[in-house]
Amino acid sequence: MIATQENTMKDTDIKRLLYTHLLCICSIILSIFIPSFFLENFSILETHLTWLCICSVSVTAVNLVLYLVVKPNASSKRSSLSFKVTRFVKCCVYFLMSCFTFHVIFVLYGAPLIELVLETFLFAVTLSTFTTVPCLCLLGPNIKAWLRVFSRNGVTSVWENSLQITTISSFVGAWLGAFPIPLDWERPWQVWPISCTLGATFGYVAGLFISPLWIYWNRKQLTYKNN
Amino acid sequence: MRLGSGTFAACCVVVEVLGVVLFLRGFFPAPVRSSSSSKHQAEPPAPEPSAGASSNWTKLPPPLFSKVVIVLIDALRDDFVFGSKGVKFMPYTTYLVEKGASHSFVAEAKPPTVTMPRIKALMTGSVPGFIDVVMNLNSPALLEDNVITQAKAAGKRIISYGDETWVKLFPKHFVEYDGTTSFFVSDYTEVDENVTRHLDKVLKRGDWDVLILHYLGLDHIGHVSGPSSPLIGRKLSEMDGVLMKIHTALLSEERETLLPSLLVLCGDHGMSETGGHGASSTEEVSTPLLLVSSAFERKPGDIRYPKHVQQTDLAATLAIGLGLPIPKNSVGHLLFPAIEGKPMREQLRFLHLNTVQLTKLLQENVPSFEKEPGFEQFKISERLHGNWIRLYLEENNSEVLFNLGTKVRRQYLDALKTLSLSLSRQVAQYDVYSMVVGTVVVLEVLTLLLLSIPQALSSKAELEVPLLSPVFSLLFYLTFLVLSAVHVIVCTSTESSCYLCSLSWLTAGGVMVLVSALLCAVVSALTKVLVRGKLLSKNAAHSNSRWSELDLLILLGTLGHVLSLGASSFIEEEHQTWYFLVSTLCLALCHDIYRNYLPGDDCEPQRCLHVEGGFDGATPALQDKNTSSAVLELNRGCKSPSSLGTLRGYEKWMVLASPWVILTCCRLLRSLNQTGVQWAHRPDLGHWLTSSDHKAALSVLAALSLAVIFALIQRRCSPASKVAMALGLLGVYCYRAAIGNVLFPWQQDNKDISKGILEARFVYVFVLGILFTGTKDLLKSQVVAAGFTVKTVGLWELYSGFVLLAALLLRPHNLPVLVLSLLIQTLMAKFVWKPLRHDVAEVTVMHYWFGQAFFYFQGNSNNIATVDISAGFVGLDTYVEIPAIFLTAFATYTGPVLWASHLVSFLSSEASSSADGSTHSQ
């Protein structure tokens, strides 16, 4: 009896997951097409930085809205306003820190130190949007929870599982995106950091697609400890 | 048969080398050669073709020019003369090109664009093989038929000033010479002064027929500061002055003689955007070729654009111009504009001589030469030529003669072009069969090695090699039969020459036996592994032998690197692959460390952020999507659960920080030397340090680096070698100060620069001393069984000897590479490999990766031009072949060699400490 209840819960969760993910994908696709109605000469490759800003803002917004609407981990206790504010400030600080950390990592990976700082930083912001923002929405500024989710056997819900998949696939996408840079095809998208941002975006979208399907296929095997 | 893993590995290496040699033999084309090249002057020149009536012109035509001056400017790129630089800095030459009595060409040099093969190409007209690059430094006398030898034989007096390669290539050919060496690359005034100072005297004297001037300064400037340096302009103006001087002298002398003289300006190779040369980029292969002579007088308004020709064309043109037979191996064709002004009969005669020579070469190198279009064209034009001669001798109407003559000439020119093309193509033909066999041997050995790794690395270090079974197996005989059949079919049907087929049947059979035996060994090893794998999976379904993410990264990275070599850009930019992999490896290590060390303790937020960073960065490396579901054990965690707790506070911080330190080191090194092709021109720290303005900074850096090297290396040396090390490193600094790279604080001005022979030999004494003590210890440990400690100390001393040698050979701005390599090795050994207990295979692959990355950190690339040949002359007075090759090879491969020797010493120390541990516990 309890098992079936759990299963139905999981099924509804997966359905909600799928819808939210589809919304996220829509926001990314719209960020490609909508701005061209308002801005002249807008294209992903030529005005890449603008697109990066728009894309990260829209993804962040959609994530926040979805979080507020869906409330995957509805906490039972109602908290005070001051707690919420500190929580929000903390989230912002975490987001900024993750941007800077990514920036440092990119530079260590070989991104130019002085030239193209803005490009590198916006790439860091985009990657943070794809990875840190969902984490912050879902888990809050709680490092222990993050560590738990990203270690083996640490996931406790469908949401966390999908979070893990999208985050990893964004990283893998960004990592693979660096591969075409040394090729001598002389394409406009081979310029730093375009191929990496595109790779990260593709990875994120792929993660969004794959995670509900993957969780659905493996729903029998998946057991979450605390649910 | 049981074999020790050492013996097995040695056998594998031997067979591997055989395979590689076979492959290379097929890959590097055998040069096109005339079989009768040994005996010069054997055959009389081809007579003029005639139909019926006998022609009376059987001797070689007389020379067209009385004097020939060849001005060869090393690394003269075409745009230095024909481009904006030429207009700006070489006004006289530009005047000659645009309005003077001259013909200008852009001559394409064939790679390798290195001086000696280029000189050979210019003088023999043949295309030298890649193997000539190796011989570039030590050029033995040129035995092939060439213009210089022909001229000498014809009694011409030849004078050569400039690069001493000429003197080495053509010993006893010159009545007068003064060789300058390209030894001190940083000198770009003296080398050219040494050439120019002879000019006035020689031009006045006029008792010579051929004058060769080879200016090296431009190339040196290119190597030191690149093609956009302001020094280039000054050098070009200097060269322009030299040309003007020679040309006016020639013109004034011409009035007294009947024949005009010829001035040739050419470059041996171009200059890449970084200032190097050796490869095949457009900048490196395009060189200007300017023929100046009053015979090429043109009417006003006659605009001649530089035509694209081959560099090999010069030999034939020079031979004709000097009235010599064309070199037998020349694949070039006569530059027609040079003979355009001659009467029709002479023009046709010259063209005929050239075609006959090319056809002869074709006949000797292509089995099916009759089917070649060039050969047919030659036959047609020869017949037409005969008809024309008959008409000419019959004194026919001049207009008819002229029209027919033009037709014959066109026919000849077409034939020449086709012949030359098909001969050049012959040079670039691979011997696919030998290449395939070589590859098969290499791959089989590799598979065998891979399959036997687990066995060979087990504690017994022995392995069963299935040697006897193949002899009795059916598979062996079947493969052998099939291979022999294939061999016979290939060898009988092939048209082009093939190395394996030219071997004797016995040797070829041996190769076939080897291939099939290896195949059988691979198959049996494979079945064994499969059987064992099945057994294992039955017995222990969930053993803890699942791979960690690090193992996966290591495997995928190595495989990915191999696959990436399929794209030429990835070969050009291979350093990027290694830097990328090494960075990813560091992040993966970081992930590994934090996963093991953090959950146990209450970390403060500051640290946690690093965790997040480390983790986030490392996750891309995981690549497998099953992390989320995987029921993997934290095998590190269960292997070394105690190691976390036992570490003291300081050590723990070091462990946590070391991946970041290593990453930062790698990033610093990366900006030290830009290499590769696409981004090689970017400014880097190395250029900044080597420029003469920053000598003080370089000196401080070098001194500091040497001090840190001592600090890092001395801790495990014996007292005697500690002293030797300190003195040796002091000697290194003295050597660099003596040759003028760095300064002593008390010596501010540049005093006289020596070769530093004494200082370098002083260091060599200590290197040999340290290596000797190391070897002695090793031998002692082998003979007396003194235990692991002696062996470890011996290996460490060998390693420190290598470090000292590397410190001597590396250029001072590259000393940080050495320092950081030592630092990374120390950090890795102390804070990563030991506490995390990585197994031997992982440590080995990491050493390999870092070794490769350090090869590129040094500024090397897959381009042969980046090899620093100056290392071969450290402490040597003159060029001595064997030490020079050894030193150059060591300096080039410092990174991989140091990492390999560190690996050996690290593994041995690990083994000794584990042996100690086991004895203690007992």
B183 part of contact set with chain A, CB < 8 Å: no
pLDDT over 80 at A51, yes or no: yes
Average pLDDT over residues B542-562: 79
Residues 6+ apart with CB under 8 A from B652: B597
Q: Look at the alpha carbons of B227, B229, B234, B238 in this order and tell me if their dihedral is positive or negative.
A: negative
Angle at B431 between CA B429 and CA B434, to 5 degrees: 165
Query: E-assigned strands of B109-209?
Result: 158-163, 176-180
| Residue numbers of B between 672 and 711 with CB closer than 8 Å to A | 676, 678
**What element of type H or E holds B883?**
helix B881-892
Look at residue A106 in the predicted model and tell me its pLDDT.
94
* CA atoms of A169 and B625, how far apart (whole Å): 8
Average pLDDT over residues B380-406: 84
| Residue numbers of A between 129 and 148 with CB closer than 8 Å to B | 131, 143, 146-147
Each residue's pLDDT tens digit, A98-155: 999 999 999 999 888 888 899 999 999 999 999 999 999 888 888 888 888 887 677 7
Least trusted range by pLDDT, from A64-78, A145-159, B511-525: A64-78
Confidence of residue B631 (pLDDT cuts 50, 70, 90): very low
Q: Which of B599, B608, B663 lies nearest to residue A108, judging by beta carbons?
A: B663
Q: How far is A67 from chain B (nearest CA, A)?
A: 22
| Residue numbers of A between 182 and 201 with CB closer than 8 Å to B | 182-184
> Which among B612, B668, B670, B685 is the top mutation candidate for probing chain A, defined by the most A β-carbons within 10 Å of its own β-carbon?
B612
Contact B627 A152 (CB under 8 A): yes
Look at residue B467 in the predicted model and tell me its pLDDT.
61
Each residue's pLDDT tens digit, B650-705: 888 888 899 999 999 999 999 998 888 778 778 888 888 887 788 889 999 999 99
More confident residue, A5 or B835: B835
Which residues in chain A are contacts of B622 at CB distance < 8 A? 168, 172
Which residues in chain A are contacts of B616 at CB distance < 8 A? 98, 101-102, 105, 131, 167, 171
* CA atoms of B674 and B551, how far apart (whole Å): 30
Look at residue B33 in the predicted model and tell me its pLDDT.
65
Contact A168 B634 (CB under 8 A): no
Each residue's pLDDT tens digit, B407-463: 888 988 898 888 888 887 776 667 788 888 999 999 989 888 888 877 766 666 666
Please name every residue paired with B781 in a beta bridge, in sequence order, or none if there are none.
none
Confidence of residue B611 (pLDDT cuts 50, 70, 90): very low
Contact B587 A105 (CB under 8 A): yes
Look at residue B748 in the predicted model and tell me its pLDDT.
62
Tokens of B433: 């069969």
B464 part of contact set with chain A, CB < 8 Å: no
Look at residue B678 in the predicted model and tell me its pLDDT.
78
pLDDT over 60 at B620, yes or no: no
* CA atoms of B203 and B211, how far apart (whole Å): 9
Average pLDDT over residues A60-77: 77
pLDDT over 70 at B775, yes or no: yes
Q: How far is B661 from chain A (nearest CA, A)?
A: 10
Angle at B748 between CA B745 and CA B749, to 5 degrees: 155
A155 part of contact set with chain B, CB < 8 Å: yes
Quote the mean pLDDT of chain B. Answer: 81
% chain A with pLDDT above 70 = 90
**pTM exceeds 0.80 for this model:** no
Look at residue B664 in the predicted model and tell me its pLDDT.
94
- The string of DSSP letters for B212-262 reads EEEE-HHHHHHHHH-TTSHHHHHHHHHHHHHHHHHHHHHHHHHTTSSS--E
pLDDT over 90 at B824, yes or no: yes
Assign residue B607 a region (left: φ > 0; alpha: ψ between -120 and 50; beta: otherwise).
alpha
Look at residue B345 in the predicted model and tell me its pLDDT.
85
Look at residue A219 in the predicted model and tell me its pLDDT.
79
Length of chain A (residues):
227
pLDDT over 90 at B370, yes or no: no
pLDDT over 80 at B832, yes or no: yes
Look at residue B189 in the predicted model and tell me its pLDDT.
79
pLDDT over 60 at B474, yes or no: yes
Instruction: Say how many CA atoms lie within 13 Å of B834 toward its Cβ.
Output: 21
* CA atoms of B496 and B29, how far apart (whole Å): 11
Look at residue A58 in the predicted model and tell me its pLDDT.
92
Closest to B214 measured CA to CA, from B265, B278, B141? B265
Across the A:B interface, residue pairs with CB atoms under 8 Å apart total 103
Look at residue B180 in the predicted model and tell me its pLDDT.
75
Average pLDDT over residues B282-300: 86
B549 part of contact set with chain A, CB < 8 Å: no
Each residue's pLDDT tens digit, B146-181: 899 889 888 889 999 888 888 888 888 888 888 776
* CA atoms of B245 and B196, how far apart (whole Å): 10
Please give the order of strands across the beta sheet that includes B286-292: B176-180, B158-163, B210-215, B68-73, B262-267, B286-292, B102-108, B307-310
- How far is C-alpha B352 from the geometric centre of its chain's CA atoms? 39
CB A126 within 8 Å of CB A56: yes
- Residue in chain A nearest B592 by alpha carbon: A151
Q: How far is B572 from chain A (nearest CA, A)?
A: 9
Look at residue B491 in the predicted model and tell me its pLDDT.
81
More confident residue, B833 or A6: B833
pLDDT over 70 at B258, yes or no: yes
Q: How far is A35 from chain B (nearest CA, A)?
A: 31
% chain B with pLDDT above 90 = 22
Contact B570 A183 (CB under 8 A): yes
Contact B612 A98 (CB under 8 A): yes
Look at residue B385 in the predicted model and tell me its pLDDT.
87
Contact A143 B611 (CB under 8 A): yes
Confidence of residue B305 (pLDDT cuts 50, 70, 90): confident
Contact B620 A102 (CB under 8 A): no
> Which among A171, A185, A186 is the top mutation candidate for probing chain B, defined by the most B β-carbons within 10 Å of its own β-carbon?
A171
Contact A105 B613 (CB under 8 A): yes
Confidence of residue B8 (pLDDT cuts 50, 70, 90): confident
Contact B632 A178 (CB under 8 A): no
pLDDT over 50 at B633, yes or no: no
Which residues in chain B are contacts of A147 at CB distance < 8 A? 598-599, 611, 615
CB B337 within 8 Å of CB B296: yes
Closest to B808 measured CA to CA, from B704, B731, B922, B900? B731
Average pLDDT over residues B375-403: 84
A213 part of contact set with chain B, CB < 8 Å: no
> Long-range contacts for B660-663 (Cβ within 8 Å, ≥24 apart)?
B660/B590, B660/B610, B661/B823, B661/B827, B662/B586, B662/B824, B662/B827, B662/B828, B663/A108, B663/B583, B663/B586, B663/B587
Q: How far is B860 from chain A (nearest CA, A)?
A: 17
Confidence of residue B575 (pLDDT cuts 50, 70, 90): very high
Contact B670 A131 (CB under 8 A): no
User: Checking DSSP bridges between strand B286-292 and strand B102-108, what pairing results, if any?
Assistant: antiparallel
How big is chain A by its Cα radius of gyration, in Å? 19
HEC states along chain A? Answer: CHHHHHHHHHHHHHHHHHHHHHHHHHHHHHHHHCHHHHCCCCCCCCCHHHHHHHHHHHHHHHHHHHHHHHCCCCCCCCCCHHHHHHHHHHHHHHHHHHHHHHHHHHHHHCCCCCCCHHHHHHHHHHHHHHHHHHHHHHHCCCHHHHHHHCCCCCCCCHHHHHHHHHHHHHHHHHHHHCCCCCCCCCCHHHCCCHHHHHHHHHHHHHHHHHHHHHHHHCCCCCCCCCC
> Which among A97, A147, A165 is the top mutation candidate for probing chain B, defined by the most B β-carbons within 10 Å of its own β-carbon?
A147
Count of C-beta atoms within a 10 Å radius of residue B1: 9
Contact A105 B617 (CB under 8 A): yes
* CA atoms of B124 and B32, how far apart (whole Å): 12
B582 part of contact set with chain A, CB < 8 Å: no
| Residue numbers of B between 555 and 574 with CB closer than 8 Å to A | 567-570, 572-573
Q: How far is A151 from chain B (nearest CA, A)?
A: 8
- Residue in chain B nearest A98 by alpha carbon: B613
B583 part of contact set with chain A, CB < 8 Å: yes
Confidence of residue A166 (pLDDT cuts 50, 70, 90): very high
Look at residue B193 in the predicted model and tell me its pLDDT.
85
Please name every residue paired with B267 in a beta bridge, in sequence order, or none if there are none.
B73
| Residue numbers of B between 856 and 895 with CB closer than 8 Å to A | none
pLDDT over 50 at B601, yes or no: no
pLDDT over 80 at B797, yes or no: yes
Q: Which of B610, B617, B670 lies nearest to residue A110, judging by beta carbons?
A: B670
Contact B580 A143 (CB under 8 A): no
Each residue's pLDDT tens digit, B334-348: 888 888 888 888 888
**What element of type H or E holds B2?**
strand B2-4
Look at residue A227 in the predicted model and tell me its pLDDT.
43
Q: What is the largest CA-CA distance in chain B?
A: 114
Which residues in chain B are contacts of A168 at CB distance < 8 A? 619-620, 622, 625, 627
Closest to A18 measured CA to CA, from A10, A7, A29? A10
- Residue in chain A nearest B632 by alpha carbon: A152
* CA atoms of A161 and A143, how far apart (whole Å): 17
B853 part of contact set with chain A, CB < 8 Å: no
Each residue's pLDDT tens digit, A200-219: 999 999 999 999 999 888 87
pLDDT over 90 at B217, yes or no: no
Which residues in chain B are contacts of A169 at CB distance < 8 A? 625
Contact B612 A218 (CB under 8 A): no
- Residue in chain B nearest A90 by alpha carbon: B605
